[in-house]
Structure 1
């Protein structure tokens, strides 16, 4: 163990994953990087402060409260139009960033699944090895739970059962709502 109680393997994994994330960010198309930058800025207090100042001055000027400043948008139609167009673009940038983040999350979920399946397979093999060792040294392994962990999990069957339960739950809640 070294820094902060972490093993060198864990520290190496952190370094490799951090490097990979940096390479992925650098390899992203410029449009995605731009959308991410805009989204980061628009989600900041600086952006909020700038809008408070600009919109505040716009409103104060067009209410006629600033002496010497002519009212250039007395009905606030231009302000409303500008805010609407800005909202359209900002929501598009946010969606682009969210789509990218969702793709990254999907890749991480796939990696987690593969690692978990590999670990499950390795543990199943270890359980089989332990059973053989127990048999060789004359220790009986009669626990049904132990024999159960010696079987590999079929992920596609697990997904089928999850889907069936989800469908049954959804059908049940549809019936509940219809009867209510």
Structure 2
């Protein structure tokens, strides 16, 4: 059963990490440029149900007026060509804003992935050193398990470039099949 001191210490470490990550996210948000803020605001609005409802009302009204079913005003686009052009131009701009936001989110995701890789490599290196130390202690104490051949393999540092090369070769072989 875990003691409360280690739970409290773990909780404080977790709490510190969460606060650090939140502070980083808030800092990035504060440092966004005007163009990024505008693109994010537009993307957030266009991804809402309010945007859908507004378009539903506007497009329905436009169509009903211009096919003559809603005689509240004179028909101004009887072939609906202007509506189609308006919708096309709007789609171009909206897709551009979405792409801008996605590019920024992808760059952020790439930074997080690199951070995860660095942390994973550091943890792997630390575990390798712990295995070396425990193997040496086990050998000195005459523990039979310390002679396990798997330990020698585990004591080797992982070289990320070698892992990537192996992954690339395996991917290439799959493509050639």
TM-score (normalizing by structure 2): 0.92
Query: 2:101, 2:71 → 1: CA distance?
Result: 43
Query: How big is each residue's C-alpha offset from its partner over 1:91-143, in whole Å with a ceiling of 9 and x where there is no partner?
Result: 00000001001100100000000000000000000000101111222213121
1:77 paired residue number: 81
Query: 2:23, 2:59 → 1: CA distance?
Result: 42
Query: 2:152, 2:41 → 1: CA distance?
Result: 54
- The within-5 A match list for 1:39-50 is 39-50=43-54
* Worse-matched range after superposition: 6-15 or 35-44: 6-15
User: Are 2:171 and 1:153 equivalent residues in the alignment?
Assistant: no
RMSD: 1.2
Query: 1:79, 1:67 → 2: CA distance?
Result: 18
Give unmatched runs, 5+ long, in structure 1: 173-180
In the TM superposition, residue 148 of structure 1 has moved relative to its aligned partner by 1.2
- The within-5 A match list for 1:96-175 is 96-140=100-144, 141-172=146-177
In the TM superposition, residue 66 of structure 1 has moved relative to its aligned partner by 1.6
Query: 2:66, 2:80 → 1: CA distance?
Result: 8
In the TM superposition, residue 65 of structure 1 has moved relative to its aligned partner by 1.4
* Worse-matched range after superposition: 136-145 or 48-57: 136-145
Query: 2:72, 2:158 → 1: CA distance?
Result: 77
Does the 8 Å CA contact 2:139/2:147 hold for their aligned counterparts?
no
User: Are 2:13 and 1:9 equivalent residues in the alignment?
Assistant: yes
2:3 paired residue number: none
SS in 1 for 2:147: coil
In the TM superposition, residue 55 of structure 1 has moved relative to its aligned partner by 0.5
Count of residues in correspondence between the two structures: 169
In the TM superposition, residue 8 of structure 1 has moved relative to its aligned partner by 1.4
Query: How big is each residue's C-alpha offset from its partner over 1:48-81, in whole Å with a ceiling of 9 and x where there is no partner?
Result: 0110011111111111112331111110011001
1:24 paired residue number: 28
* Worse-matched range after superposition: 84-93 or 62-71: 62-71
SS in 1 for 2:24: helix
